[in-house]
Structures are given as C-alpha cells and as structure tokens.
Chain A
C-alpha cells in the first residue's frame, strides 16, 4: 500500500537579492494514514517551510508531493482548491490564527459550507459536533475567540482544521504558545483525534520530548537538510548523528551524561552554508573529509538513516 503522503526531493529556494536562500534542500518523506511523523530542528532548519510545501501553501522549487497518489503539481488552481479539503494545518498561535471578529460558530461554518456544502440545520449540527469532538460544548458556538483561554482557542483551531474531514494534517508547533499545564491536554487531544480518525500527521516541534511522546517516526533537520531519520524509539535510544545527540542533550533536564555534548557557535547563515556537511562547523567530530562532499543519507539500522560520514562516535 502506498503511503498517504509522499514527498520526493522537495526543495525550496527563496530569492534574496541576486542570491538564492535554500530553505529546504531535497527532503523526501512518507507519512502513512494513521501515522505521525515528527519534524524537529532549530530556527532556520526549514521545518515550517517543509510543512507549507507539503500543503502547497508554498510552491516548491523542485520535487514532487503526492497525497493519496495525487501529484499536487498536476492540479489546476480550481482542482487544487477542491483538493485542499484533504489537507489542513494547525498553527502555533491560536490568538493569531482565529479571526477575532468571527464567532466560533462562524469560523467553523466557513469550511463546512465551502468543503462539505452544508447549509441550515445540518450546518449547525455539524459545527456543534465538531466542538464536542475537541472537548468543548455547543454553547461555545456563539462566543468570540476572546472569551476563550489559550488552550480552548487551540481546541477551536483544531476543530476548524477537522471541519473539512481532512486525511492529512500539518501541526506546526501546536502547543508552543501555551502554558505548560495546558500543553499536555492539547497534545493528548491531538493524539486521540489522530488515532481515532486515522489521520496522517506531520508534527513540527522544537520540543523533542513532545515529539517523542506522539510521533511514530522522527526526522531531524538542520539548515534545510535531513540529518537523521528513524523510528522514534530507535532515534531516542540510539541517536546516530552528532546533531541529533547534541539536540537531545541540550534540552534542559535531559538524561544526565558524564560529558554533555554542548555545541559551540551558532547556525551558519543559510545564504552561505558550509561546503560538504552543513553541520560540520559546529560538529565536535568533524574531520577534513566532512568539508569535501555532501554526505548522503545512508542506513545505520532498519529504517534508520543518517547523513554523516563518520561511524562509531561516542554519542
């Protein structure tokens, strides 16, 4: 069975004066129905751009995206608009992503009318059902976003994403703007809905501990390139790329080790990325060969790939 979401060599260049900034560089991935792929990386890693490319909110410079076998580039604008009901997004900030002048009921009615053609009592019924699905009540339909707490707003945003009955959802830092005590309930809700509806979910997060909880597979990005990808348990038990290990150890309260891998310096400018391996300028294990050629993703275990030429590193 082919996976619901397939991307091959997705690449995005942004023009910056005369120079091009490559935000996403030849990323391939698959997400099956009922599967969660976690995408982690720091600022500038390309994780949000990747999410937008997959949903065709941005036009890729190269590469192919297929959703349910359909090549998105082959769709004309009208057909693409219709196809959009299959794929939706949940954004980071529920204060910015909901229209303050629309009641929650109106916000939900829009996609229900547009994508499912509902009218009248059926529309009202479906809006109420959506709110209940995310743990709110029908009474909330007449309220404005300002009447809700951050956690409740993110529930509304999730309900809105579900309105068109999508099969693929990109959640870009869905709990980062929420207070700690509220994050857990939104994570649980996303996970419950993803499982019960059999959604393919791309979960973008800088928080490794949340990705570890929710994702089946994880992809680690740095300066637009895939550093490592593996099943979640394998990745966290045996990180194989120095960047993955450093990211895990940099997280506060990370499992204690005798010597912590602390990266020096900062992410280089994407306008002028290092030759060869883009991570080599911060890598404590870099050798001369790392500058020579771009490392290819190669297997280090079943379904476990890394883009690093070195082996047997003390990570």
Chain B
C-alpha cells in the first residue's frame, strides 16, 4: 500500500520560508524570518525560545490571527494536508474559508485561559458553539458532546460543570475547558502556545499529561510553543529552537538536548540550574537583541563565546548536520 505509506510520511503541516513583519512607528520588526518547519500526525513539535524569538508569532501566523494593519506576512507558505489528503496553502485562503479551517482543522490553546474564555457565557455553551458552527449539530447534541468533552479532559462532575461560568473554575480547570474547545472538532493540528506557563507545577504536570494522552489517542499533530527546555523533554518528539526570529537548530528532542549543535541551544541548556553540586549558575552574557535592529550576520554572535569575524559578515544558512538535524551556525562542527 504505497499510497498509504506516502500519506503517513507526508507532514500534516509544513511551513516554508515564512517571513512575518510588524510595521511599527519606530520601524520594521522582522518577527519571523525565513522559518521552515514541519509536523506529522501523531507527532509533537516543540518550538522553544525566549521573548522576541518569534515562536508565538509563528503559531499566530499559521492560524492567521494576526491583525492585518500591523502584521504583514511578507512571504512563505503554510501548507496544511487536509483530511482528504489535499494540500492547501492557508496563507492563500480567502478569510471565509480560513474561518472554517480554524477550529475544525487547526485549533489553538493559549497561555491565559481567563482571557481566552468569554466571561459572560457558561463554559459548556462555548464548547457547544464550536460544535454547532463547524459540524451543524443541534443544540441538544452539542450540549451532550460538550459534557462528554469535559469528561475527556478530566473535569469531574461534567454534567453540572457544563453550566459553570469561567470565573467559577480554577486556572487548571479553565485550561482544561480551553483544551475541550480546541478538540471539539477533532482537529488535525493543535497549536498550544505556552499552555501551562500560568499554572502551578503540580497542575502543569496534569495538563502536560492530559495533552500527551489526547494527542496519542487522536494521533493529532501538535505544535507546542514554550520557553521551557525542560518541558520540551517531557512532551516533544521534535524540537525547533528559535532566537530573534530565526530557527537556529532543529532535530529529534532527545538528540538535540543530549548533543546540542548550536551555541545558543548549548548556552540555554547550561543557564538553567543544575543542582547545588554544579556550583554557580552560568548565564548567557549580554541581553536579548533589539527587535528593531537585530545584529548583523548571525543574530546570536554578540552573546556567543565562539563568535569570529565571519559570523558578523553574513547570516549563516541552515545546514544539514545529520539526516534529521539542521543548525544555523558556521562553526557547529567545532562547537559540538
């Protein structure tokens, strides 16, 4: 069954050469420059980076949720492989069709569930709305499904919680509701943008376990956007490390974390605490670059211990370092 095998290998989502800019009064911020990523069904890709890395803008571009006045998608393609196997470029879709894709084929969970949920409607209605809009279900059907979804995301007593308002639920439960809304139409791809950052660690552990279980059960593709490399280890098969709008390294999570090739990845792994015995913490020198005026050449060079004149001369290209690994550093062979 050659055709099925090919379908298995084809990515659910492929981002190709994406450039997203913000035109501000003080100048142009190239938030995402030349980003290419792919995620297959049943696979989790973590996009990790600090403030200004472009990790969230990448997710918002895929969803086409950026305001048109300030944000401009300068170039690139976002190719989604639909349920029928046909590939469409989401950036080329008319808004009316994109509205159908959003929620049905690609869904998103944000960091702060309180500002994502509507405070004046019961949570059950907000889940049911998605089901009615995308699947044309009746009110009664949609409500029944909302209860079932609440149960699937681990909310106890779903028959009564379905009528609760967001403020009556804890932060962890609200995030479970957001996940229920996102999964209501069984999307092909879930984009989770820092979904546990606002939560306490014991609740974070529950939500991460929930997302992993749901993703396996449904064989969804998932893009998990985070600043936390340690969390990446828990959840992702593949990881893309971003810095100042660019992907600097990408590969299988276990390999990237065990043997980072880019000096930034290495420094990011080093600067988190390693226990008392490891002694002082090792910060990355300098500050994050000014997004209006990123450094010439390699954007990490001012903070990099391995920088040399050639690093300033030109933007390094993404190099194939192994079959499944890429790195944007001209000195990766020496650094690794």
Contacts and interface: CB of A to CB of B under 8 A. Distances in A.
Interface of A: 42-43, 149-152, 179-185, 187-188, 191, 206, 209-210, 212-213, 232-233, 236, 246-247, 250-253, 260, 262-264, 266-267, 282
A58 B227 CA distance: 34
A252 B202 contact: no
B167 interface: no
B191 to A, nearest CB: 20
B201 A181 contact: no
Interface in B224-261: 227-231, 233-234
Contact of A212 (B204, B209, B276): B276
Given A152-B287, A188-B283, A43 B201 contact: no
Contacts of B173: 266
A3 B284 CA distance: 36
15 contacts: A43-B200, A179-B51, A180-B228, A181-B284, A181-B288, A184-B282, A184-B283, A232-B276, A247-B202, A251-B230, A252-B204, A253-B233, A263-B206, A266-B173, A282-B202
A182 B283 CA distance: 6
A68 B226 CA distance: 44
B200 A182 contact: no
B283 A212 contact: no
Contact of A252 (B230, B268, B284): B230
B202 A246 contact: yes
Given A181-B267, A184-B282, A266-B203, 9 more contacts: A43-B200, A181-B50, A181-B268, A182-B284, A183-B283, A187-B281, A250-B201, A262-B202, A267-B200
Nearest to A210: B273
A153 to B, nearest CB: 11
A253 B230 CA distance: 5
A280 B204 CA distance: 20
B93 interface: no
B283 A250 contact: no
A188 B271 CA distance: 11
B273 A252 contact: no
A61 B288 CA distance: 45
B280 interface: yes
Contacts of A212: 273, 275-276
B272 interface: yes
A266 B228 CA distance: 23
A87 to B, nearest CB: 26
A161 to B, nearest CB: 20
A252 B227 CA distance: 12
Interface string B256-298: 0000000000011001110110001111100110000000000
Contacts of B276: 212-213, 232-233, 236
A252 B234 contact: yes
A180 B209 CA distance: 24
A253 B200 contact: no
B288 to A, nearest CB: 6
B310 interface: no
Contacts of B268: 180-181
Contact of B170 (A206, A236, A260, A266): A266
Contacts of A149: 287-288
B202 A181 contact: no
A298 to B, nearest CB: 24
Contacts of B50: 179-181
A273 to B, nearest CB: 15
Interface string B30-55: 00000000000000000000110000
Contacts of B204: 250, 252
A184 B209 CA distance: 29
Nearest to B48: A180
A6 B118 CA distance: 47
Contacts of B209: 262
Contacts of B166: none
A43 B201 CA distance: 10
Given A247-B202, A253-B234, A263-B202, A179 B288 contact: yes
Contacts of A263: 202, 205-206
A132 to B, nearest CB: 18
A290 B280 CA distance: 41
Nearest to A185: B283
Contacts of A206: 200-201
B103 interface: no
Contacts of A252: 204-205, 208, 228, 230-231, 233-234
Contacts of A232: 276
A256 B271 CA distance: 20
A151 B228 CA distance: 18
A151 B205 CA distance: 28
A83 to B, nearest CB: 34
B113 interface: no
B124 interface: no
Given A179-B51, A180-B272, A181-B271, A262 B288 contact: no
B11 interface: no
Max count, chain B CB within 10 A of own CB: residue among A213, A233, A282 = A213
Nearest to B208: A252
B172 interface: yes
A155 to B, nearest CB: 11
Interface in B168-208: 170-173, 200-206, 208
